[in-house]
Chain A
Amino acid sequence: MARCLVVAIVLLGLASPSATADDAVPPRRLTPQELADWIDQRFAEEYRRLGAAPAAIVDDATFLRRIYLDLQGRIPTVAQMRDFLADQTSFKRQDYVDRLLANDQPPERFAQRSSEHLGRVWRRMMVPASAPNAAMAPQLDPWLAQQFAENTPYDEFARKLLAAPAAANPQTPAMMGPDAGAAMFQQAVGPQPENLASAYVRVFLGVRIQCAQCHDHPMAAWSQNDFWGMAALLGAGAAAQNSPMPAPTIKPVTEDVAYTAKLLWSEEPLAEIPAGKSPRELLADWLVSPNNPNFAATAVNRTWQYLCGRGLVGSVDDLDQVSDEERKILDDLAKLFVDSGYDVAWLITGICKSKVYQQAAAGEPGGYGEGFVHRPLKTLLPEQVFDSLEQALNLPVARIDNGPRFNGERDQFVARMNESAAETPSDYKGGIPQALMLMNGKLTADATSLDNSRTLRAVIEAPFLADEEKIETLYMASLTRRPSEEEMAFLLEHVQSKKAPQERKQAYAEIFWGLLNSPEFVLSR
């Protein structure tokens, strides 16, 4: 690793990393490993500046669980864990990142699973639970998964979402070509121009302007002109013309004024829409432009937040509230992202291969003033919880089995979890109903039933396993690690205090129940 870093520094003239942003060196695409080294170098600077020590690098098992949860949306199996721990090759962590993102060999189909999972993650970022039609948002998933599978460049991704006309009938998007699914985004956030304006600006530019819908924003700099100027561009959607057309206007229902189309950060409304462009195309050109200060930065910040628990810059939706100094690393990384051709897979790979990504989670945010240098615990998304349970329980995943994934149980489970899903990875919002479902719901009941549980039966009935090994296997199946000495002593005592064979079996069920309900199961270290 250290050697790679030196090579990268030499290659890139990075002797003084702070010079990268403004350097006149022509853009050259880094490899993902070079990106990882660049990240580690910048963070090393930051630790020096803050007088802080970086957290320790996690062990193999923790890394494996983390990378599986982040990319596959589920925990690894016991077999995958054993294989990884036994692997003696020197770049096995980096190789595993590539495998999960790019290897689509059956039966694992890692790449496909990663695309599907990242699509869901992005849907949750794009459509918050409070959106008017949030319930429709999962219909976006297939299209999003496709974009991750094809690694659509992020600028093109944004264009597709912006260009798609709001479907008149949301039931029939399939009628309209390969990117028709993108239209579901506009349905989910509410198809009115004012909803679209706040949604696009939040999702792609990391600022919230919706407060300026009714009055000039008291704290941030946004005015009603800013809000409605953007909304005007997202109105009914005129097509491109051969000659310039007047800039569109919009009149709020509650006001007597009409607002003319205006781009954010510009003082004046648009004079006209040039020939050959529709208002939305003009908006898209401006949105994804490398000169837009927030487009690439927001993409990077959201990706970083998802993978590392918090954004490189505090709140990912309040980028307008931070100083240039605070967003220095973010902006530099954003520039590399632009130079990569808005390559999302490159960005994810680079982050996951960095040492920063592999650092142990601190319980408390930083303590150094700037929290981003320390990784918080991350609360699993509802689908991650379900899919991890499915994995831990060895449930039938194939459709033909009519397992919980396909008989409605998964939907019910996710719906209940959604009732109190957190908006940021470091928050845990689950309440009593969610706890009760994990404690007593059918999935857990079956998982810890001596008659029904595949995992439990496999463990309990294996004649070749000693008590210690049985406990250890349950830990690996659920928490991807071996128990500590203290844990082993406590649980062994619990098992061995039971004399009757049936009671002893039940003791394992109780342990498994405890593992599945433990905070460690739903909080990613």
Chain B
Amino acid sequence: MSSQPRLTIPFAASASDARRRFLSPYSRRDFLGVSLASVLGVSFSGWLPKLAKAAESSPEARGKSCILLWMSGGPSQTDTFDLKPGHANGGPFREIGTAVPGIRISEHLPRVAKEMKDLAIIRSLSTKEGEHGLATQLMLTGYQPRQEAVRYPTLGSLISKEIGRNDNDLPNFVSLSPMRMGDAGFLGPNYAPLTVSGASDDPNARANLSLEDLAPPRDRDEASLKSQFDILRFMQQNFAANHASEAVRSHRASYAKAMRMVETQARQAFALEDEKPELRDAYGRNRFGQGCLLARRLVERGVAFVEVALTGTNNALGWDTHGDNFNQVQSLSEVLDPAWSTLMNDLRDRGLLESTMIVWMGEFGRTPRINPQNGRDHFPAAWSVVLGGAGIKGGQVIGRTSPSGEEVADRPVSVADVYATVCRGLGIDPWRENISPEGRPIRIVDSSGDAIEELVG
């Protein structure tokens, strides 16, 4: 991998923009810019000697990480990890064997099936929220949404606060999602995610999930950038002295992280073009596939928590298959299967799987009964999530649903149980308390939860 930062030519945004630039007296500088960029690149690595060593440190030296694969809209358990062949609720999908004898999953997840030794399916999750917003809040915070004024932090904020490193040049929590997921709640701006939407008018940025505007303008040299930052810090300090408010702290926290990323050019984490084309193909040339690849690059650079959302191509709630469920689930599975399995292999190849936990879940499951639109509706009563990687004893199935899939038949599991399991797997004490701004101690995980011992014991 080249350690030299690549500066892309900024803002080749639209035809009219390009035309304007061409007509402007400065257009010649666009050509010069190519060589200027390389000159500037050298000066960057001079500024940051750490850069060259970026991807080199050993996995042992790092803490653990967690990647959340978020299935937005609520994935159908009956058509992925808890099939009901032979039952009227079963639908047309066939079941296939996996790398673990006795565990069978959907025919449309053949490559994930091969990874089953490192994955554990929980088939008996039971929750109480059936509306997208509330259910998302529940699954992403581990706490029942309430009217009371506590803003519960999202999973990524909770986890990255515990295992993230303060000396990292990258934020400890990165969210790769076209929509906004959870936020840091009462933990405050220091634990908020860096959200990379992948949504952009710049086709290159979209395909690459790159972080736009990471490179400073070409006409600034290193000394000038440093002066800018010094002046800004002075102004921030002055303003904060007279206006001590949460908004000012949030602004400062975001800028501190952004400045650090500019200084280090985010250690090239977002330069997916540095990867072999074959590997990028294997992940899938779509936002979720490339998001999983980016997640690996981030974890490799010490990012503690990465969430990658699999949404629909046209809407934010891809798995919300009220109609035409089977065609939709099949095509979503065909995005999920290569991305997830390649991620597992890629992490394993780099010795990172044993330090990286994978969590697969959505906000709820879907009705086992098939509705007249050949769809499935919201169903929180009995559904599946999958855990794997670091700290999780794979190759197991926890719990069971009834033959119709409509009830939990064995070993009901709550959200808090899942959260406690994730924490234990990552070496975090689930009962440690965070203190809310009102001074109220709030446990990382709701005290009703118990870790699933079979998975982490």
Contact = CB atoms under 8 A, between A and B. Distances in A.
A509 B227 CA distance: 10
Given A129-B180, A321-B147, A449-B219, A518 B232 contact: yes
B165 interface: no
A284 interface: no
Contacts of B247: 376-377, 379, 426-428, 519, 523
Interface of A: 129-130, 210-211, 213-214, 218-220, 253-254, 321, 361, 363-365, 376-377, 379, 402, 407-409, 412, 415-416, 419-420, 426-437, 439-442, 444-445, 448-452, 484, 486-487, 490-491, 494, 506-507, 509-511, 513-515, 517-520, 522-523, 525
A379 to B, nearest CB: 6
Nearest to A520: B239
A88 B189 CA distance: 44
Given A416-B212, A420-B195, 19 more contacts: A214-B130, A363-B243, A365-B245, A377-B243, A407-B20, A408-B201, A432-B211, A432-B254, A439-B216, A439-B259, A440-B217, A445-B10, A487-B235, A494-B231, A510-B224, A510-B228, A519-B240, A522-B251, A523-B251
A507 B246 CA distance: 31
A402 B211 contact: no
B42 interface: no
A436 B242 contact: no
B332 interface: no
Contacts of B148: 219
A509 B223 CA distance: 13
A514 B262 contact: no
Contacts of B53: none
18 contacts: A363-B243, A363-B244, A408-B14, A419-B195, A428-B250, A430-B250, A432-B211, A432-B258, A433-B212, A436-B213, A436-B258, A439-B213, A444-B217, A490-B234, A513-B228, A519-B239, A522-B251, A525-B243
B441 interface: no
Most buried by B among A408, A442, A519: A519
Given A254-B377, A364-B245, A433 B211 contact: yes
Interface string B214-236: 11110100001001100110111
B245 A376 contact: yes
Interface string B121-141: 000000000110110000000
Interface of B: 10-11, 13-14, 16-17, 20, 26, 130-131, 133-134, 146-148, 171, 180, 183, 192-197, 199, 201, 211-217, 219, 224, 227-228, 231-232, 234-236, 238-240, 242-248, 250-252, 254-255, 257-259, 261-262, 322, 371, 377-378
A419 B183 CA distance: 13
Contacts of A253: 322, 371, 377
A435 B445 CA distance: 32
Contact of B224 (A416, A491, A506, A525): A506
A131 B244 CA distance: 33
A517 B13 CA distance: 23
A487 B213 contact: no
Nearest to A406: B16
A440 B16 contact: no
B332 to A, nearest CB: 20
Closest 6 A-B residue pairs measured CB to CB? A514-B231, A219-B147, A435-B258, A445-B217, A428-B247, A518-B235
B238 A210 contact: no
B231 A513 contact: yes
B375 to A, nearest CB: 10
A253 B375 CA distance: 12
A364 B234 CA distance: 21
Contacts of A451: 26, 219
Contacts of A409: 13, 17
Contact of A507 (B131, B192, B227): B227
A114 to B, nearest CB: 25
A145 B219 CA distance: 41
B239 A220 contact: no
Contacts of A429: 183, 250
Interface-centre pick from B146, B171, B251, B371 (highest chain A CB count, 10 A): B251
Contacts of A376: 245, 247
B214 A440 contact: yes
B212 A437 contact: yes
Contacts of A513: 228, 231-232
Contacts of A510: 224, 227-228, 231
Contact of B11 (A415, A439, A442): A442
A494 B227 contact: yes
A452 B195 CA distance: 31
B33 to A, nearest CB: 12
B226 to A, nearest CB: 9
A230 to B, nearest CB: 16
A186 B26 CA distance: 46
Contacts of A402: 16, 20
A254 B378 contact: yes
**Which of B16, B213, B254: most chain A CB closer than 10 A?**
B213
Given A377-B247, A429-B250, A525-B243, A419 B180 contact: yes
